[in-house]
Amino acid sequence: MKRKGIIGGTGVYDLGYHDGVTDGEMRKDVVDTPYGSVEVEILSLKDKKGEDLEIVFLPRHGKDHSAMPHMINYRANVMAMAMMGVDEIYATCMVGSMRSQFGVGEIVTIKDFLDFTKTRPSTFFEEDEEVKHVDVSHPYCQRLRTAFYQSADANHLRVKGGAVYVCTEGPRFESVAEIRFFQMIGGDVVGMTNVPECILAKELGICYGAVGIVSNWAAGIGTSVQFKALGEKLEESRRKVIQVFVDVFRSETDEEKDCDCADSVMVL
Ligand SMILES: [Zn+2]
Looking at residue 208, its amino acid is Y
Q: Which residues surround ligand 1, an ion (CB under 5 A)?
A: 141, 143, 207, 259, 261
**Ligand 1 mean position, distance from CA 262 (Å):** 7
DSSP three-state, residue 70? helix
CA 250 to chain centre: 18
Q: How far is the CA of 141 from the centre of ligand 1 (A)?
A: 4
Per-residue pLDDT tens digits for 136-186: 999 999 999 999 999 999 988 999 989 999 999 999 999 999 999 999 999
Percent pLDDT > 90 in the chain is 68
Distance of CA 180 to the CA centre of its chain: 25
Taking a C-beta distance cutoff of 8 angstroms, is the pair 61, 17 a contact? no
Q: Identify the H or E element spanning 75.
A: helix 74-83
Cα of 145 from ligand 1 centre, angstroms: 9
The reported pLDDT for the residue numbered 22 is 58
Tell if the pTM clears 0.85, that is, is over it: yes
**CA gap 65, 56 in Å, rounded:** 18
- Cβ atoms of 44 and 1 within 8 Å: the answer is no
All domains of the chain, ordered by start, with CATH? 2-253 (3.40.50.1580)
202 by DSSP, 3-state: which? helix
**Alpha helix stretches (DSSP H) within 108-253:** 142-154, 176-184, 194-203, 231-251
Ramachandran angles phi, psi of 251, nearest 5°:
-90, -30
Measure 80 CA to ligand 1 centroid, in angstroms.
18
Gap from CA of 208 to ligand 1 centroid (Å) = 7
Alpha-carbon radius of gyration of the chain: 18
Per-residue pLDDT reduced to its tens digit, 47-102: 889 999 999 999 988 877 678 888 889 999 999 999 999 999 999 999 999 999 99
Torsion over CA: 261, 183, 106, 72 (sign): positive
- Concatenate the DSSP letters of all residues of 80-138 into one string: HHHHTT--EEEEEEEEEE-STTS-TT-EEEEEEEEEE--SS---S--TTS--EEE--SS
Torsion 178-196-131-140 (CA) sign: negative
